[in-house]
Structures are given as structure tokens and as C-alpha cells.
Amino acid sequence: MKYVFLVLLFSMTFSYAQTDEEAIISLLERESSSWRSGDVEAHASCWSIQPYSRIFVSMADGNSMDVPPAMMINPPEHLVGKGGTSKNSNYKMNVIGNNAWVTHDEESTTTDGVTNYTYEMRILEKIDGNWKLVGQSIHPRKME
């Protein structure tokens, strides 16, 4: 009886365990939504700023920005909390040990109904058992 109980317990534990891929997607969805809702604390908890962290943003006019990584954990009030929605799709990832890089498409819609589309590359590390963003690169894309 004890053996059957242990087998059932381990089976349930493994069936409910979140895979790295699921944990990463959950983190990226939380990071996107917390930026829009203005929940700075939740957004900051998605990041682990390292000395090598970089945030690159390409602009629609062809220019690019090298955003200070600290802005991800302490953003200016005028940049966050503007509402709207985002939808991430087309996830592709490479997870090796405690490191991962992920690409995905994002569709962001403002409260005024304006929709923007981007390709995003995210760089993550598993720190103390939790996935955290350490860098990203964002590029606009046209939808026709």
C-alpha cells in the first residue's frame, strides 16, 4: 500500500510540475501585462539586471535605442501603466541548463485601439530556481 501511495504521489508531482518552457512563457506573459498595468513591482520581479544586461529597441524610423537596463526595474512613471493589451505568439526557444533565449511575436494594442507589432528576442537565466530576464531586443514589424 505504501508503494502504491508513493507511486501516485510522484506521478501527481511530475504531472503538475511546470516545464522550463511553460515557466518562461508564463514569465514573459507576466512581464508584458505588468508593464501595461503599471505594476512596477511585478514587472521588476521578472528581471535580474546583470553587468552584461542590454536592452535594444529598434524604432520604426530606423533608429535604435540602447535602453539603460535599470529602467526595467525602475521605469519612469510616464512609460508604464498606459493600459492596453498584448498578445505574444510564435514562441521559439533554446533552453540549455540555466540559460535560455526566446524569440516571439508581440501584438500590442493601446487603449485607443492602435495596434503595434514587434519581433522580440529575450535572454533569460534561471536564478535561484526561477527564470528571470537579463536582456532583450525589440524590433517593429509591419502587418499587411
* 116 phi and psi angles, rounded to 5 deg: -120, 150
DSSP 76: -
Model confidence at 11: pLDDT above 70: no
| Domains of the chain, CATH where assigned | 19-140 (3.10.450.50)
| pLDDT of 6 higher than 50 | no
Average pLDDT over residues 130-144: 93
Q: What is the mean pLDDT of residues 24-40?
A: 94
Q: pLDDT tens digits for 52-77?
A: 999 999 998 999 999 999 999 999 88
Q: Give the number of residues written for the chain.
A: 144
Average pLDDT, the chain: 90
Q: Which pLDDT belongs to residue 16?
A: 57
Average pLDDT over residues 24-37: 94
Taking a C-beta distance cutoff of 8 angstroms, is the pair 39, 27 a contact?
A: no
How far, in Å, CA of 17 to CA of 92, rounded? 21
pLDDT at position 94: 98
DSSP helix/strand/coil, 123: strand
The grid coordinates listed for 22 are: 511553460
Q: 21 in helix, strand or coil?
A: helix
The C-alpha cell that represents 37 in the structure block: 498595468
Rounded Cα–Cα distance for residues 76 and 37 (Å): 14
Cell numbers at 25, concatenated: 512563457
CB atoms < 10 A from the CB of 47, how many?
A: 22
Average pLDDT over residues 94-108: 97
- Host H or E run for residue 9: helix 2-16
